[in-house]
A and B are shown apart, each in its own frame.
Chain A
Amino acid sequence: MAEVRLDAVRKVYAGNVEAVKGVTFDVPDGHFCVLVGPSGCGKSTLLRMIAGLETVTAGIITIGGQVVNEIEPSERDIAMVFQNYALYPHMNVYNNLAYGLRNRRTPKDEIDQRVREAARILEIEQLLQRRPRELSGGQRQRVAMGRAIVRKPKAFLFDEPLSNLDAKLRVSMRVEIKKLQRSLGTTSIYVTHDQLEAMTLADMLVVMNAGNVEQIGLPLEVYEKPASAFVASFIGAPPMNLMKVDAAQAAAMIEGAAIGIPAGGAILGVRPEDLALSLDGSQPNGGFKLDLTVAAVERVGPETFVYGNVLDGADIIVRLPGQDAPATGARVTAVARREKLHRFTADGSRRLDG
């Protein structure tokens, strides 16, 4: 139980490649922090620095009030779950769980008691004598989790732990990880590139891009008010529609009072789920409107995605409930309420409010 603080943490690899460019945030005690971003954004490097597997080029990492920059991973009192589980192949499940405790010279009966307790929590008691290769992917995942919880560490670190599982198992393990973390109350930092995992697991979402933190917040806060065009396009599936506009174009799209567009233009964004189609050109909810030619329609059952082309070539996705959709080639008008519009600076780096 501890909070994890990062203060201006940087990582520069040999050859002057800056993987992490000065990241500062605190994960309060007991919180579930998810680092999300595209591959190569530095999220795994950051996690490995917290674990002590990478050196810190600059900045300070604190776990439970103790600066850990120069401390060995084993002394940091953290546990890590790896993407490929990294179970010891020649040890049975029991020894895999017990190994870390034995290295810490924990008394034998305490090891036994802790291993059995962890096995009970994860429902792997009947697997204790098996070798990792005799286990299914989901079982290995549980053992990897067990190896983390048996240690009762200050923090759990997860490095894309679900990406080797099939889609169905991933959903159920996701729910279990969340339940487990809630009941144990251990501070957790979880790295993923899957925004669905990020949204569902996090108490605190950290969106990273190219070594920088783009936004930190509650998952829904990040969804409702993305701080930059990158976050807007990364969080949410399908991604937010973004259009580069100047004041005149914006005025043509939006009815009523003009919204503020700076001189250099801006990026206007609207989520596919906030758009509706108006077949007769009337605008039932007023505000934003955009004429489209339907280019493709995807029906996935509960909802339908309509891909439309605007005259100047931009692609717009509209998400409709149910299965009714216009035919390909039809001319339609997409409409949205004006409070559902997002505005960003022309370079996409900042959100414009008010």
Chain B
Amino acid sequence: MVERKSIGNVIPHVILWIGIAIVAFPVYLAFIGSTHDAATIANGQMPPTPGPYFFENYYRTIFVGTSMTTREPIGTMIINSFVMAIGIAVGKISISIISAYAIVYFRFPFRMWFFWVIFVTLMLPVEVRIYPTYKVAADLNLLDTYAGLILPLIASATATLLFRQFFMTVPDELVEASRIDGAGPIRFFWDTLLPLSRTNIAALFVIMFIYGWTQYLWPLLITTRDDMQTLIIGIKKMIVTSDALTEWQVVMCTVMLAMLPPVFVVIAMQRLFVRGLIESEK
């Protein structure tokens, strides 16, 4: 019995470890690459162990930039990416929770029409409406601004629908009890609905932060100045150097650094995220 149980435990563990290895190997390779000098990587014989250039490479990546080009160091890019990702996550959550609140709790003309309009935008991500969106942004002088990076990506049908579904599971009696307790619509929203949505907000924040952080096409279009570009664009521009050798150690450092914020967000929000999935506070 004991043996059977241990064999039964070993097989899933082996499978899981193989899975982890498949996921972790490229990350490991990137990390190793970020600790060697350019020559070691370029000659195609990079050893599978960390090299001695860890501090030098990261210092150069963040504060100096690649040597053969005029590219900026990634310090400003990290800030840009942060502003954009947090702006998009916070913006999306604020806009969608308010829209969902309006659609679920208020009776106004064309309520369902508005709901379906929001719903239809699920089919219109920024890639589909890229030209008109760019035109609008350009006419509003939003090129090379944080507002230009953030605003066009803020509307979110997914988040609105998610909050709508959640609000519809909140018992009506809670609204009625609030009304009798003298809480108007705004107090009910702040005092009851928002605290109850905490876990939903956390889950959405994780998803939306990563969505904002990994945006590529839109920042590529809307930013032209180097000091406004985001980390993901930066990586691309570092790789494509037409008349010089790509400095892979810097690219790898950037990749490692680009990966960290989403990982931290997931770790920080995980507790709330999981709690949102397993326990209902209603």
Contacts and interface: CB of A to CB of B under 8 A. Distances in A.
Q: Do A and B interact with each other, yes or no?
A: yes
Given A84-B173, A86-B171, A90-B196, A79 B281 contact: no
Contact of B181 (A83, A84, A99): A99
Contact of A80 (B174, B180, B282): B180
A76 to B, nearest CB: 8
Given A53-B179, A99-B181, A104-B182, A82 B173 contact: yes
A133 B177 CA distance: 17
A89 B183 contact: no
B47 interface: no
B281 A133 contact: yes
Contacts of A104: 182
B56 interface: no
A51 interface: yes
Among A79, A86, A103, A104, residue most surrounded by chain B Cβ atoms (within 10 Å): A86
A237 B264 CA distance: 65
A88 B174 contact: yes
Contacts of B187: 103
Contacts of B195: 90
Contact of B179 (A74, A83, A133): A74
A132 to B, nearest CB: 9
B270 interface: no
A78 interface: yes
Nearest to A72: B179
A103 B192 CA distance: 13
Given A99-B191, A103-B187, A133-B281, A86 B176 contact: yes
Secondary structure call for the B interface: helix
Given A100-B182, A104-B182, A90 B281 contact: yes
Contacts of A51: 176, 180
Contact of A79 (B174, B180, B196): B180
A87 B195 CA distance: 14
Contacts of B179: 52-53, 72-74
Contacts of A85: 173
The interface size bin for chain B is: 10 to 19
Nearest to A157: B180
Nearest to B192: A88
B180 A89 contact: no
A83 to B, nearest CB: 8
A17 to B, nearest CB: 18
Given A89-B281, A89-B282, A90-B196, A82 B177 contact: yes
A82 B176 contact: yes
Given A89-B281, A103-B182, A103-B187, A80 B176 contact: yes
A146 to B, nearest CB: 13
Contacts of A73: 176, 179-180
Given A99-B191, A103-B187, A133-B281, A86 B177 contact: yes
A80 B182 contact: no
A35 B179 CA distance: 23
Nearest to B183: A103
Interface string B84-101: 000000000000000000
Among A52, A78, A88, residue most surrounded by chain B Cβ atoms (within 10 Å): A88
A103 B281 contact: no
Contacts of A80: 176-177, 180
Contacts of A90: 192, 195-196, 198, 281
Given A89-B282, A90-B192, A99-B183, 15 more contacts: A51-B176, A53-B180, A74-B179, A74-B183, A78-B180, A80-B176, A82-B173, A82-B177, A83-B173, A84-B171, A86-B171, A86-B177, A88-B192, A90-B195, A90-B196
13 contacts: A51-B176, A51-B180, A72-B179, A80-B180, A84-B171, A89-B196, A89-B281, A90-B196, A90-B281, A100-B180, A100-B182, A103-B181, A103-B182
Sorted nearest first, the 6 A-B pairs with minimum C-beta distance are: A86-B173, A100-B181, A74-B182, A103-B182, A86-B177, A90-B195
